[in-house]
A and B are shown apart, each in its own frame.
Chain A
């Protein structure tokens, strides 16, 4: 049995943030992720927004971690090299009634110490956002956008190069408290640890249930999104939100620009039975388009190129209004068992601040000594972002920088090889896509699939029967068309 000091269950943005924070100290940390890569759940499927903190009630943990996390992002982005743009946000009022709601949001924001909030008239909004008609809007300059998977991957990979052990496709199936440690049973063997961190997102209740009787329920709430073609990048420049609906504890269908130029419509909010049901539905696709058009009347019909959904981990039922605060706490019943419960929006923003808080909790029982050899690997510039000299120099060093294998996003063979050489050992087609963007463009893998298969086979000696799309059993191929005969 392998021994660790801290075991983190879940490699989403929360688990990865904590892993990175802990990788600064001389302790043995392991992360179990049941997906084939980090950010396999809600951490990948969200709006990618760095929230300001205007939407959570004063003195809530949501407001606290959101405002604190928000302040940390610029430094993190400079350090780790993930993209971040402070595009700002408009919450728009369609009538006088809604304008009152803007005042309320502004005062909540002020109490939460969100800086520079401003209510502006519709005609002023029109100057900045000509496609958005409204009576007035609350302008929030401290709201930004990131690529949530890029952020999570950067944290996890940095944790991994600083000796945090990541086990992918590994599910914690049993958890027992022993004298001074915990026993964790997984499909990849047994482990023992002094501290367990439950960062398993929407599955958090199941993990608690392995050790004690949970005092809460999870109400999975699905959010569907539509993605627009990059050709329509100019429709909006900032995030455009409606005044939040009164029910469900959500923000409403909004329009979000992304780092890459695709605009997102969504998310919907639908309480569902099955926590794993990440499907998209025809009804909701139509509803999203309808609601988005209420905000953006000039939205073209045929602009959608992709759809996905994510599951919010809510601790309050629709009957209770759908809103409950985060729980970031060590179990009273089971010391050493730290739970992160109900971490939904603004979870990405809150993640770095939550990681600091968890580190503080751990420091009470574990002596945290700073590493002297802590390394930072900054995300490399992509070929498509380089100037001619940078490109020429790299091709001179390694010819594979001159071979483009993704025609839509101009990704080179060198970048694909680098993506598959990631320190987490993530080897799926999606793992490469989320690291180097091969297959993320208009043709959705029409050109690059063959090259990625060729690279996996030639460079990484992967058996074609073991190649996967995105998860443990998402195999791509069955066999050779014709097996070679050994004569």
Chain B
């Protein structure tokens, strides 16, 4: 057993983990340990070789590896300790962490933990597509790893199911490498990726986007031979007679991302059923005191810029962490038209940062915060889209927390 005694342990050296560690260091925590299971640091960024990273944060557009380098440099300059190729196996309620790498088993005692495990992709089975089980079906992220990091071409004639951002980016990437991208199939009536990606990755390359469509059958005894797509109605039922078989050798799945929280669940941290991430308070602290969550394991972010901003906040709070007794608790509830709101719990007053998503795209609407049917905040928005996370700062007074139990956030026309 290799023993460590640290102030803060960060699980995951992706953009969230690095930003949180840097921020915690700047707030005075010097004894920090970052753990990552990959042989590199930067998480998913090194394979994101397209540009568009850091625009909001730095004012200029970078590729993923360039953006990652900024934080990698900071971590290195501060001599923050990193264990690479190291897997956290579990941690317990007293925050004792067990991890493993080629040197052996590690026991880590830590005052606080920052969860930054990222997310994973949904698979074929999360939507249960019937048919055969051939080779040639990849999640978009795996295809990106293979092409960009391993110099391997997974297919030639490609259909993409799901219009998430990774799928859109991969449509363009495959086109660059000479593949035929036959179309992107989206079950909803709107693309689930960012509007700018629809324009820059599909429209600019004449790749068709089939809205209100899904893949109904997968055919191929050994390698994929074709997929059948069909139109669906408003109730998500397949409209018979609209089936169309598309010959292809590869199906990429971009069905959405799931926050990775096996470690959190194992220790009993309460998970929000909608976000898939831990339920957190205004400090991004989970239901287990001293354990903070940030990055895509908290919620799936649109851009790394906003993700880093929140991660820095989690890092700062972890550095300042002292266990306090909670006297009053205000629950934040998503109301009409709202999918989720973070934080889900408010225990202390202040100017609180809320991040939230709507259920459907909509023009000209307002977001309203109400406590016991009394409006405390309202903001008009020209349009809302589930693909664009909404960020709002609202002052929450001590009185409000003391008197009320429920803060509702809803759309209001």
B1–A392 touching, CB < 8 Å: yes
Contact with B along A433-457 (1 / 0, CB 8 A): 0000000001111110110011000
A392-427: which have CB < 8 Å to B?
392, 395-396, 399-400, 402-404, 407-408, 410
User: A408 → chain B, closest Cβ, in Å?
Assistant: 8
Q: Please measure, in the bound complex, the distance between the C-alpha atom of A216 and the C-alpha atom of B120, giving whole angstroms.
A: 51
Is A486 in the interface zone, CB < 8 Å from B?
no
Known contacts A392-B1, A392-B104; can you find 7 more A-B pairs with CB under 8 A? A279-B130, A280-B130, A285-B130, A400-B102, A407-B37, A449-B145, A475-B135
Q: Find A464's partner among B1, B152, B177, B216 (CB 8 Å cutoff).
A: B152
Q: How far is the CA of A474 from the CA of B222 in the complex (A)?
A: 4
> In the complex the two chains form, is A480's CB within 8 Å of B128's CB?
no
A477 touches B152 (CB 8 A): yes
**Contact assessment for B146 and A453 in the assembled complex, using a CB-CB cutoff below 8 Å:** yes
A395, A445, A449: the one within 8 Å of B104 (CB): A395
Interface residue ranges of B147-163 to A (CB < 8 Å): 147, 149-156
Cα–Cα distance between A407 and B258 once the two chains are bound (Å): 15
Which of A276, A443, A447 lies in contact with B221, CB distance below 8 A?
A276
A: which residues have CB within 8 A of B?
276, 278-282, 285, 304-308, 388, 391-392, 395-396, 399-400, 402-404, 407-408, 410, 442-447, 449-450, 453-454, 464, 468-482
Q: List 24 A-B contacts (CB under 8 A).
A: A276-B221, A279-B131, A282-B130, A285-B128, A285-B130, A392-B105, A395-B100, A399-B102, A402-B100, A402-B103, A407-B87, A443-B123, A444-B124, A446-B139, A449-B138, A450-B145, A450-B150, A453-B150, A473-B223, A475-B223, A477-B152, A478-B156, A481-B147, A481-B152
Q: Give residues in B with beta carbon < 8 Å to A.
A: 1, 37, 85, 87, 89, 98, 100-105, 120-121, 123-126, 128, 130-136, 138-139, 141-142, 145-147, 149-156, 177, 216, 219, 221-223, 249, 262
User: A444, B1: Cβ atoms under 8 Å?
Assistant: no
A403 touches which of B101, B123, B133, B249 (Cβ 8 Å): B101
Question: Which of B121, B132, B152 has the largest number of chain A CB atoms within 10 A?
Answer: B152
Task: Decide: A474 and B153 in contact? CB cutoff 8 A.
Answer: no
Q: Which residue of A lies closest to B107 (CB)?
A: A388
Determine if B142 and A446 form an interchain contact, defined as CB atoms under 8 angstroms apart.
Answer: yes
The answer to whether A480 and B152 touch across the interface, beta carbons within 8 angstroms, is yes
Could you say which residues of chain B place their CB within 8 Å of the CB of A482? Answer: 151
Cβ contact within 8 Å between B154 and A477:
yes
* B100 touching A404, Cβ below 8 Å: yes
Partner of B142, one of A306, A307, A450: A450
Given contacts A392-B104, A469-B134, A470-B135, contact A454 B150 (CB under 8 A): yes
Q: What 6 A-B pairs come out closest when comparing CB atoms?
A: A469-B135, A399-B102, A404-B87, A473-B222, A474-B135, A402-B102
State whether A410 touches B87 (Cβ < 8 A). Answer: yes
CB-nearest residue of chain B relative to A282? B130
Interface contact B105-A395, CB-CB below 8 Å: yes
Q: B residues within 8 A CB of A469?
A: 134-135
The residue on B at minimum CB distance from A480 is B151
**Cα separation A276 to B219 with both chains bound (whole Å):** 13
| Distance, CA A306 to CA B122, complexed state (A) | 12
A278 to B153: give the CA distance in the assembly, Å.
28
Query: Which residue on chain A has the smallest CB distance to residue B89?
Result: A410
Bound complex: CA of A470 vs CA of B222, how far in Å?
8
Assembly CA distance A478 to B133 (angstroms): 18
CA distance A410 to B90 in the complex (A): 11
Complex: A103 Cα to B163 Cα, angstroms: 56
Contact indicator B146/A477 (Cβ below 8 Å): yes
Nearest CB of A to B192, in Å: 19
Is A445 touching B152 in the complex (CB atoms < 8 A)? Answer: no
Q: Please, how many angstroms separate the alpha-carbon atoms of A282 and B127 in the complex?
A: 11
A20–B103 alpha-carbon span in the complex (Å):
40
Asked whether, in the complex, the Cβ of B102 is within 8 Å of the Cβ of A403, the reply is: yes
Q: CB < 8 Å: which of B128, B146, B156, B222 contacts A472?
A: B222
Nearest CB of B to A438, in Å: 13
Query: Closest chain B residue to A443 by CB distance?
Result: B120
For B125, what are the chain A residues with a Cβ–Cβ distance below 8 Å? 304-307, 444
Q: How far is A410 from B37 in the complex, measured between Cα atoms in Å?
A: 11
Please judge, given known A-B contacts A307-B128, A446-B121, A446-B141, whether A481 and B89 are in contact too, CB under 8 Å: no
In angstroms, Cα B120 to Cα A478, docked, is 25
Contact partners of B101 in chain A: CB under 8 A: 402-403
B149 neighbours in A (Cβ, 8 Å): 450
Using CB atoms, name the residue of chain A closest to B123: A444
B1 and A388 form a contact (CB under 8 A): yes
